[in-house]
């Protein structure tokens, strides 16, 4: 870019545009866990075409009600009789002891004789361990996690976690050396201007790497911090930056608070061809231009042209309505403005108008 001839103020430069709506904190936190069982517990957010494959949100954008293996009915915990995803809720956390992410990085610095500063540095090791300290230690699922026991039958997926209150209950620390692989969702909800924003950090496969101290005391719970190390599993895949690739962690974000406050103030555009008699037009989004679209195209053809853009967005991210030949109402998936060209139309008056209300 050309260096500007004149400058501006602090505000004019945008340096004062701090926005508290992007602050994430709050007390609505939960951790969900189940055994990882390969393809049977695949939580990949996308399939190879970029379509949504798995999500903690229902189709209406709200929380799924079928995630948990146990539910509380009339004060009694029972195995969920309805079809469900088989996750177990960890339960309460002590104030100040919510789930903790503990990223670790190691670098190899190349030093030269002539300087005390690194001549080069290369990242050689990364880790994304996390931990939680569950205070409901009498809960059967916590007993099993503390003793590193399976939560599900590895072949059938049947729930092995016992219902609370069973006679002759007990759990043992085996000497087999087995370290069951888990799948964990760290769930949060906070509100901005009264509207909910949901976030979920998902780890498709992780193993226990550390157990903290447990104290029997009248002021503290017997909770022990459990630390897990996420690992690649060969199944966890996402469409990231236009490429379908393996991932270690995925963060789902949703809720009406996100849609209302954080998305582009303009998400819909009216594409009007102006009654042409022949020809074609194109649409441009994110610096990518569609193939030519016929002047009398149905809205499905317009959508197909947009979906075909190599921008990482799939069919579910675009909405196009309207009659064949337009006007078309196009809902875009992100922050970028929709533009286009009607230079190939005959007798048309091409225009794209943002919907601001």
Q: What pLDDT was estimated at residue 77? A: 93
For 303, left (φ over 0), alpha (ψ -120 to 50), or beta? alpha
Give 284: exposed, middle or buried? Use CB within 10 Å, 0-12, 13-18, 19+.
middle
pLDDT digits (tens, 9 = 90+) for 54-82: 999 998 889 999 999 999 999 999 999 99
The stretch 224-229 carries a mean pLDDT of: 95
The stretch 18-47 carries a mean pLDDT of: 94
Q: What pLDDT was estimated at residue 265? A: 58
Do residues 351 and 274 lie in contact, with contact meaning Cβ atoms separated by under 8 Å? yes
Q: What pLDDT was estimated at residue 357? A: 57
Q: Is the pLDDT of residue 266 over 80?
A: no
**Torsion angle of C-alpha atoms 70, 75, 81, 85, degrees rounded to 10:** -20
- Please tell me the total number of residues recorded for the chain in this structure: 357
> What residue has token string 């079809």?
83
The stretch 162-189 carries a mean pLDDT of: 93
Q: What pLDDT was estimated at residue 281? A: 96
354/339 Cα distance (integer angstroms): 10
pLDDT digits (tens, 9 = 90+) for 118-127: 999 999 999 9
Q: Is the pLDDT of residue 262 over 80?
A: no
| DSSP 3-state of 97 | coil
Do residues 302 and 332 lie in contact, with contact meaning Cβ atoms separated by under 8 Å? no
The stretch 268-294 carries a mean pLDDT of: 94
The stretch 341-348 carries a mean pLDDT of: 93
Q: What pLDDT was estimated at residue 251? A: 97
Closest by alpha carbon to 99, among 258, 1, 225? 225
324/300 Cα distance (integer angstroms): 9
Residue 285 pairs in a beta bridge with 288
Closest by alpha carbon to 336, among 275, 270, 280, 284? 284
Whole-number average pLDDT of the chain: 92
pLDDT digits (tens, 9 = 90+) for 90-104: 999 998 889 999 999
Q: What pLDDT was estimated at residue 335? A: 65
Q: Is the pLDDT of residue 339 over 90?
A: yes
228/248 Cα distance (integer angstroms): 13
Tokens representing 79 are: 């195995």
């Amino acid at each position: 870019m050309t260096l500007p001839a004149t400058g501006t103020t602090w505000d004019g430069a945008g340096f004062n545009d701090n926005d508290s709506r992007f602050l994430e904190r709050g007390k609505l936190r939960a951790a969900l866990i189940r055994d990882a069982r390969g393809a049977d517990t695949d939580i990949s957010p996308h399939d190879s075409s970029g379509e949504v494959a798995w999500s903690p949100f229902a189709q209406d954008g709200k929380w799924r009600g079928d995630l948990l293996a146990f539910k509380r009915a009339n004060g009694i915990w029972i195995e969920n009789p309805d079809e469900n995803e088989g996750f177990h809720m960890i339960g309460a956390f002590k104030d100040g002891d919510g789930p903790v992410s503990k990223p670790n990085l190691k670098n190899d610095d190349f030093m030269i004789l002539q300087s005390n500063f690194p001549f080069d540095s290369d990242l050689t090791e990364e880790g994304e361990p996390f931990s939680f300290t569950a205070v409901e230690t009498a809960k059967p699922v916590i007993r099993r996690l503390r003793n590193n026991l399976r939560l599900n039958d590895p072949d059938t997926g049947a729930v092995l976690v016992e219902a609370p209150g069973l006679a002759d209950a007990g759990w043992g620390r085996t000497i087999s050396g087995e370290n069951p692989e888990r799948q964990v969702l760290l769930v949060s909800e906070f509100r901005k201007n009264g509207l909910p924003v949901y976030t979920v950090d998902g780890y498709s496969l992780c193993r226990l790497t550390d157990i903290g101290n447990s104290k029997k005391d009248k002021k503290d719970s017997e909770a022990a911090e459990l630390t897990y190390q996420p690992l690649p599993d060969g199944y966890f895949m996402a469409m990231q930056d236009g490429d379908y690739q393996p991932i270690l962690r995925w963060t789902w974000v949703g809720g009406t608070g996100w849609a209302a406050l954080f998305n582009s103030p303009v998400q819909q555009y009216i594409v009007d061809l102006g009654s042409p008699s022949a020809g074609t037009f194109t649409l441009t989004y994110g610096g990518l231009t569609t193939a030519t679209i016929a002047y009398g195209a149905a809205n499905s053809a317009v959508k197909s042209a947009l979906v075909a853009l190599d921008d990482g967005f799939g069919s579910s991210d675009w909405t196009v309505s309207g009659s064949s030949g337009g006007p078309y109402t196009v809902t875009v998936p992100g922050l970028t403005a929709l533009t286009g060209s009607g230079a190939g139309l005959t007798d048309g008056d091409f225009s794209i108008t943002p919907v601001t209300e």
